[in-house]
């Protein structure tokens, strides 16, 4: 009898309807079961879901469905990170209103997400551009302002001198404005800041307790916060303007103070600003330094420039030793004091600078045995290397590294040269954006009262809808009426702040809002206390630093202002960072030799032997798709068409056209296939390459599972088989392995075990009852990945209720124990034989058996055995 083919197109919507009708995924506060909060980083509503979304939300859904089956009351919400630049770009390019564009995108993406069958509680949905959301954010802004967590100061932005507008780093391409093409410069602007630096130490120390976060993320955050111990001291200056008779510097390498060659200040240092006023040469140089963008990458990789100011400083240990003071473009005003001393002998960047400007390079220490010869590069001793000080000062002796720094600080302090200072690299978080599509900053500028917070009763400060994008700049700034208001303090006419908030603010507390998404206050104490923290947070590793650090800070700030309990200051109990979905790129060249990219759906790709080949479908008559691979191979050999280049896999991006639309996959194969494929093959923390063959394989497997289910369904009642014990053992092992796989985020391994279990059932000759039991267990184990198919199997095989609600199966420990074990025998570390022994055989017995093994005897060829190592249950190694 031909098995009935599984029809995903019919079955999937049917089951989603059943889940929706029974409100299976709606979370209730009064649910008596223990809570579990699983959250995937919410999407930016671009309008189309992509495979990265499918992978991210499928992972979360696997966890959510697994935890639900394990008896938890699962909170699994979804929302939209809806503010940001793309909406403004669309407005500029197509003249659409950012709000309307965003709302439409949200509707479109929701339509695309629904068919995937995620177990989401849609009653908690919100978008950050909802006034109900951003109004609460404004309210918290006012609370944080009152609590001293927010302040204003001047800071640098990218300035496009042609478009007269501020640019995001992303909009600066090779130092030029992306639209105007004009060289970008740095310009100072007064902006709002969160005092995240007040929490540097706490944010750093608390990382130690985030044991369910990836080590790499904790390490990256620790390095980002960048705690350092160093020496801060003042040089006496000679020839400096009034008020600059001392130059304060900070160094993490006071042990190299005797190797000083120059001092350098940032172009934004007050001294530089002072000199700029009277010296045109310095003014020109400082202007030169301000060219280019503000990004650290641009500054650090750019050419290192310096200008001798003519001012000198006196070495603190030798009043006769003067060092020139340079203005240098790589010194950041934000770090330390904005001034350094350079030790070229032991710092590569200083070495290059000194070489370029012909400065002295005195060594402080050399490798033991080496002499004080000119260096080819900065010398930093390796861990094991001993050094000898040739120009040190009391206190270092032969120490290097941290010990030398500590000793140097102690010595300097004892002789009155500066003091030890702990510094952090972490800078305060600038939240002002000179853009329309963001949360308005609720403050008012009054001519008499200055900066005045908006009254809470007037919140939300709503964005106006009638804005124009016909020219660059912030539409709020030029809106005819929006900014006009009255001062809450004195009642005089005043002007609203037209800057909006960084979208990172929106995403720094949405997880807390999900606990009470429609409340009239940012959070509700009871709900926040109950649902927080997020038990499992899942998202891309590209958020390892900024989003996750800002959220950790914001939770603390929310606690300080009474919006979160102290238990929620670390909002994410466990974090998982997933890899990207990649695809190979199909490229040809136009007449001018420029690359032209092709969508995977327009390309026919196959292997000839091991060699991958790709053709453009459009180059051929439509019947090309009907040809077999061998026919296609002949076609290629006949040079009837030109193959196109296959460029190795990269992150799916529109510009390279290496994108696969999840909707097409769902249309062809169904949601379960898409879900199964993104969970199989690659470990979730690593990138996964989308291949059409992989998707087809997933589809074929799910079809085989259904065919097996159908075959079992047709078995006569009361059939007796031989393999019931084996089936029970295979099931117990599958339950154990799949459970472990899901709990450990090793979904690819869980799926490999499901393949094995499927094949074990398929080969077995079991009784009707045993086979039905096995396939029901299989359906349950697959349910987190393939919820629709699992429901179909469950229903077909007489499962009680819904598969999604059935309690997670448990493995009988007695079935997991094997009686005998196969041990490999190595001779000098090379595997030469193996023996099968009872599980509990003593080592001495195993040793005798191993030495008596005929292959072992053959390989030993009478040589005396020096040593024999028996690792019980593992291996035997004979050393000769």
Window 434-453: residues binding RNA (CB under 7 A): 434
Contact positions with RNA (CB under 7 A) in 38-57: 43-44
**What does the alpha-carbon distance between residue 407 and residue 400 come to, in Å, rounded to a whole number?**
10
Query: Rule CB under 7 A: is residue 227 a binding residue for RNA?
Result: no
* Stretch in the footprint of RNA (CB under 7 A) among 110-118, 165-173, 635-643, 714-722: 165-173
CB 199 within 8 A of CB 171: no
User: Among 309, 503, 777, 783, which residue sits at the site for RNA (rule: CB under 7 A)?
Assistant: 503
Using the minimum distance from each CB to RNA, give the nearer residue, 418 or 475.
Answer: 475
Contact positions with RNA (CB under 7 A) in 298-357: 300-301, 348-349
User: Among 547, 556, 736, 772, which residue sits at the site for RNA (rule: CB under 7 A)?
Assistant: 547
CB atoms within 10 A of CB 558: 25
User: Among 50, 269, 496, 543, which residue sits at the site for RNA (rule: CB under 7 A)?
Assistant: 543
Query: Rule CB under 7 A: is residue 162 a binding residue for RNA?
Result: no
Using the minimum distance from each CB to RNA, give the nearer residue, 157 or 271.
Answer: 157
Query: Rule CB under 7 A: is residue 746 a binding residue for RNA?
Result: yes
CB atoms within 10 A of CB 616: 17
Contact positions with RNA (CB under 7 A) in 661-680: 680
* Stretch in the footprint of RNA (CB under 7 A) among 106-114, 167-175, 720-728, 843-851: 167-175
Structure tokens at 866: 């020096």
For RNA, how many residues bind (rule: CB under 7 A)?
A: 104
Handedness of CA 537, 539, 544, 550 (dihedral sign): negative
Contact positions with RNA (CB under 7 A) in 755-774: 755-756, 759, 762-763
Q: How far is the CB of 553 from RNA (least distance, A)?
A: 11
| Paired sense of beta strands 35-40 and 73-75, if any | parallel
Q: How far apart are the first and last CA of the chain?
A: 62
CB 473 within 8 A of CB 522: no
Query: Rule CB under 7 A: is residue 132 a binding residue for RNA?
Result: no
**What does the alpha-carbon distance between residue 199 and residue 697 come to, in Å, rounded to a whole number?**
50
Residue with tokens 């603010």: 505
**What does the alpha-carbon distance between residue 409 and residue 252 come to, in Å, rounded to a whole number?**
10
Q: How far is the CB of 108 from RNA (least distance, A)?
A: 16
Using the minimum distance from each CB to RNA, give the nearer residue, 46 or 641.
Answer: 46
Query: Rule CB under 7 A: is residue 636 a binding residue for RNA?
Result: no
Contact positions with RNA (CB under 7 A) in 817-836: 822, 824, 826, 828-829, 831, 834
Query: Rule CB under 7 A: is residue 429 a binding residue for RNA?
Result: yes
| CA neighbor of 670 nearest in space, from 662, 680, 658 | 662
Using the minimum distance from each CB to RNA, give the nearer residue, 182 or 546.
Answer: 546
Using the minimum distance from each CB to RNA, give the nearer residue, 68 or 695.
Answer: 695
Beta bridge partners of 42: none
**What does the alpha-carbon distance between residue 607 and residue 659 come to, in Å, rounded to a whole number?**
21
Residue with tokens 């564009």: 101
* Stretch in the footprint of RNA (CB under 7 A) among 202-210, 657-665, 753-761, 802-810: 753-761
User: Among 94, 278, 594, 610, which residue sits at the site for RNA (rule: CB under 7 A)?
Assistant: 610
| CA neighbor of 519 nearest in space, from 29, 130, 133, 80 | 133
Enclosing H/E stretch for 712? helix 692-713
Q: How far is the CB of 827 from RNA (least distance, A)?
A: 9
Contact positions with RNA (CB under 7 A) in 266-295: 294-295
Query: Rule CB under 7 A: is residue 89 a binding residue for RNA?
Result: no
| CA neighbor of 649 nearest in space, from 609, 697, 682, 696 | 682
Which residues, 6 or more positions from 640, have their beta carbon under 8 angstroms from its beta carbon?
none
| CA neighbor of 775 nearest in space, from 787, 760, 793, 791 | 793
Using the minimum distance from each CB to RNA, give the nearer residue, 317 or 859.
Answer: 859
CB 658 within 8 A of CB 553: no
**What does the alpha-carbon distance between residue 423 and residue 844 come to, in Å, rounded to a whole number?**
61
Using the minimum distance from each CB to RNA, give the nearer residue, 89 or 768.
Answer: 89
User: Among 70, 524, 635, 650, which residue sits at the site for RNA (rule: CB under 7 A)?
Assistant: 650
Using the minimum distance from each CB to RNA, give the nearer residue, 487 or 761.
Answer: 761
């Amino acid at each position: 009898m031909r098995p009935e083919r599984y029809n995903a197109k019919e079955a999937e919507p049917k089951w989603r309807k059943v889940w929706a009708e029974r409100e299976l995924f709606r979370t209730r506060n009064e649910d008596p079961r223990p809570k579990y909060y699983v959250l995937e980083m919410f999407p930016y509503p671009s309008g189309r879901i992509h495979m990265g979304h499918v992978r991210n939300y499928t992972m979360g859904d696997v966890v959510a469905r697994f935890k639900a089956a394990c008896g938890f009351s699962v909170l699994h919400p979804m929302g939209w990170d809806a503010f940001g630049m793309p909406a403004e770009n669309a407005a500029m390019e197509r003249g659409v209103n950012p709000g309307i564009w965003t709302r439409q995108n949200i509707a479109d993406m929701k339509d695309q997400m629904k068919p995937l069958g995620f177990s989401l509680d849609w009653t908690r949905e919100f978008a950050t551009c909802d006034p109900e959301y951003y109004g609460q954010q404004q309210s918290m802004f006012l609370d944080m302002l009152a609590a001293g967590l927010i302040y204003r100061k001047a800071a640098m932005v990218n300035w496009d001198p042609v478009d007269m507008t501020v640019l995001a780093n992303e909009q600066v391409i090779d130092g030029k404005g992306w639209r105007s093409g004009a060289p970008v410069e740095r310009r100072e602007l007064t902006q709002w800041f969160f005092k995240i630096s007040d929490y540097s130490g706490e944010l750093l120390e608390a990382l130690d307790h985030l044991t369910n976060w990836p080590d790499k993320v904790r390490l990256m955050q620790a390095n980002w916060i960048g705690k350092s111990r160093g020496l801060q001291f003042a040089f006496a200056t000679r020839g400096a303007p009034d008020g600059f008779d001392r130059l304060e510097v900070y160094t993490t390498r006071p042990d190299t103070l005797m190797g000083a060659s120059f001092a350098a200040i940032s172009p934004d240092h007050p001294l530089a600003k002072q000199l700029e006023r009277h010296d045109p040469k310095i003014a020109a140089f400082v202007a030169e330094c301000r060219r280019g963008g503000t990004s650290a990458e641009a500054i650090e990789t750019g050419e290192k420039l310096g200008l001798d100011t003519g001012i000198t400083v006196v070495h603190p240990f030798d009043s006769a030793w003067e060092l020139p003071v340079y203005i240098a473009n790589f010194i950041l005003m934000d770090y330390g004091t904005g001034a350094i001393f350079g030790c070229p002998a032991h710092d590569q960047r200083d070495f290059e600078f000194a070489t370029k400007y012909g400065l002295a390079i005195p060594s402080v220490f050399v490798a033991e045995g080496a002499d004080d010869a000119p260096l080819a590069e900065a010398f930093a001793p390796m861990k094991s290397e001993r050094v000898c000080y040739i120009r040190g000062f009391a206190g270092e002796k032969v120490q290097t590294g941290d010990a030398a720094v500590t000793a140097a600080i102690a010595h300097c302090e004892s002789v009155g040269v500066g003091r030890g200072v702990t510094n952090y690299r972490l800078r305060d978080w600038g939240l002002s954006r000179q853009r329309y599509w963001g949360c308005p900053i609720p403050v008012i500028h009054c001519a008499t009262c200055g900066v005045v917070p908006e009254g809470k009763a007037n919140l939300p400060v709503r964005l106006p809808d009638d804005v124009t994008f016909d020219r660059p700049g912030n539409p709020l700034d030029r809106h005819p009426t929006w900014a006009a208001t009255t001062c809450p303090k004195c009642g005089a006419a005043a002007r609203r702040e037209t800057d909006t908030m960084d979208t990172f603010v929106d995403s720094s507390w949405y997880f807390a809002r999900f606990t009470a998404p429609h409340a009239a206050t940012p959070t509700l104490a009871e709900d926040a206390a109950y649902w927080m923290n997020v038990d499992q947070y899942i998202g891309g590793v590209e958020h390892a630093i900024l989003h996750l650090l800002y959220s950790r800070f914001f939770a603390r700030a929310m606690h300080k202002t009474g919006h979160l309990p102290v238990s929620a200051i670390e909002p994410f109990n466990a974090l998982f960072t997933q890899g990207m979905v990649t695809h190979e790129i199909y490229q040809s060249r136009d007449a001018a030799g420029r690359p032209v990219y092709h969508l995977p759906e327009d390309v026919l790709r196959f292997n000839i032997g091991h060699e991958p080949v790709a053709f453009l479908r459009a180059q051929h008559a439509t019947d090309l798709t009907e040809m077999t691979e061998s026919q296609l191979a002949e076609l290629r050999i006949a040079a009837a068409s030109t193959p196109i280049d296959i460029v190795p896999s990269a992150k799916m991006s529109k510009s390279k056209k290496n994108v696969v639309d999840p909707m097409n996959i769902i249309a062809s194969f169904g949601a379960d296939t898409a879900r199964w494929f993104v969970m199989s093959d690659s470990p979730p923390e690593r990138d996964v390459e989308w291949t059409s063959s992989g998707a087809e394989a997933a589809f074929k497997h799910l079809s085989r599972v259904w065919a097996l289910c159908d075959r079992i369904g047709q078995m006569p009642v009361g059939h007796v088989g031989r393999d019931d014990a084996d089936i029970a053992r295979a099931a117990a092992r599958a339950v154990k392995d799949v459970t472990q796989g899901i709990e450990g985020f090793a979904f690819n391994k869980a799926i490999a075990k499901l393949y094995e279990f499927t094949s074990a059932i398929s080969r077995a000759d079991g009784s009707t009852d045993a086979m039905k039991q096995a396939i029901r267990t299989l359906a349950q184990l697959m349910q987190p990945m393939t919820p629709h198919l699992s429901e179909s199997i469950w229903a077909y095989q007489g499962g009680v209720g819904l598969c999604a609600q059935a309690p997670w199966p448990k493995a009988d420990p007695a079935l997991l124990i094997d009686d005998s074990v196969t041990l490999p025998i190595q001779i000098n570390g090379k595997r030469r034989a193996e023996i099968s022994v009872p599980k509990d055989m003593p080592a001495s017995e195993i040793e005798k058996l191993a030495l008596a093994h005929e292959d072992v005897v053959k390989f030993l060829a009478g040589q005396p055995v020096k040593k024999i190592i028996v690792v019980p249950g593992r291996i035997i190694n004979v050393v000769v």
